[in-house]
Amino acid sequence: MTSDLPRDPTKAAPDPPDSASVRPLLDQEFDDDALYGLRSAVAAHASQAGLPEGRVGDLVTAAHELAANAVVHGPGHGRLRLWKYSEAVHCQISDTGNGAAGAGDPALWGVRPGSGLWLVRRLVDHMNLQTGPYGTIATISITLGPAEPQTEFQIRTERHIHCTVVSMSGELDLKTVPQLVAAIDPIIDAQQPPRLILDLTRLRFWDSSGLAALIATQQRIAALPGGRMVLAGLSAQLLRRLRTVGLADRFTLSASPHQAVAQLGKASD
């Protein structure tokens, strides 16, 4: 996250790429009364730009929280621009400051758990925040996946003596989360104590709903006596995402499902 203080927001703003070929899909001023319309406009354009449903929702929530910040803590109004560039959808929310001596210490922004900005970091792939006496400029980006998913989401359950391995491939997102939940329910009912390995070797991507499903599964299992869950085989990219959003410590991680099986086998001896 960048927290350089811009001298003049009109000049320092990381503008939409400055070329004739990239024009904003949306350029809209907003105030408190316009947030509903702003959300629908962001949803419509993000969807048109090719983001799948779950990620459209992520972008809408992120854009809303940033715009609401400008409305509630900033000058009460601002400007939102949305554009597509280099296989990602970018959205910039800027305001002109409220005349106070800056909008607080930018180093603290987005750190306080449970705040709007804290959640925005979980929802988007990149976030750049600049704030100073001239206002705040937040730029968020969400990467576009391949136009068509290369593989359909698939889920397979394999029972071992001490544990159950659930392997997923494709994308764990708003659409496919119910399949994960449906696969986990019978395991929790059948295996006491539940020891679950989620093999994510062939998982390409998750959106905030997919990530929430992993958190919820982990919490369900951990709440049962002797329950354990391991995330195995995460790609470097997904591992990085997990670290960025501060969740890596929350899960037991394993390099591969084989290692995880051995780990849980040992634990049950």
Partner 1 sequence: MTIGADSQVTDLALNDHACLTFCETEELFDLTAAFVRDGLAEGLKVVWVSDAPQRLRQLTERGVAVEPAASTGQMTLVTCESALLTRRAFHADRAMAWLDDQLATLQGESFNGLRVAIDMSWALRPVTGIEQLPAFEADVATALAGSRASVLCQYDRDRFDPVTLASVTSTHNRSVAAATYHHDAVLRICRQYAPPGVRLAGELDHNAAEALNMALQEAIRLDGDMTVNMADLHFIDVASVRTIITAGHSLPAPRIMTLRCTTRVASLFIHLGALDSPRINLVTVHDQ
Q: 155 Cβ partners below 8 Å, 6+ apart?
A: 166, 167, 168, 179, 180, 183
Whole-number minimum distance, CB 71 to partner 1, in Å?
Answer: 8
Instruction: Give the orientation angle of helix 53-72 with respect to helix 208-222, to 10 degrees.
Output: 90
Report if residue 122 touches partner 1, rule: CB under 8 A.
Answer: yes
Q: 254 Cβ partners below 8 Å, 6+ apart?
A: 197, 230, 231, 232, 233, 260, 263
CA dist., res. 65 & res. 120, Å (int): 7
Contact 153, 27 (CB under 8 A): no
Q: Which of 71, 69, 45, 73 is nearest to 59 (CA)?
A: 45
Whole-number minimum distance, CB 130 to partner 1, in Å?
Answer: 21
Whole-number minimum distance, CB 212 to partner 1, in Å?
Answer: 3
Report if residue 181 touches partner 1, rule: CB under 8 A.
Answer: yes
Q: Which of 211, 229, 230, 234 binds partner 1 (CB under 8 A)?
A: 211
Q: Which of 11, 21, 114, 249 binds partner 1 (CB under 8 A)?
A: 114
Q: Would you say 162 or 228 has its CB closer to partner 1?
A: 228
Q: Which of 13, 26, 41, 174 binds partner 1 (CB under 8 A)?
A: 174
Q: Which residues bind partner 1 (CB under 8 A)?
A: 32, 35-36, 39, 54, 57, 60-61, 64-65, 68, 72, 113-116, 119, 122, 174, 177-178, 181, 208-209, 211-213, 215-216, 219
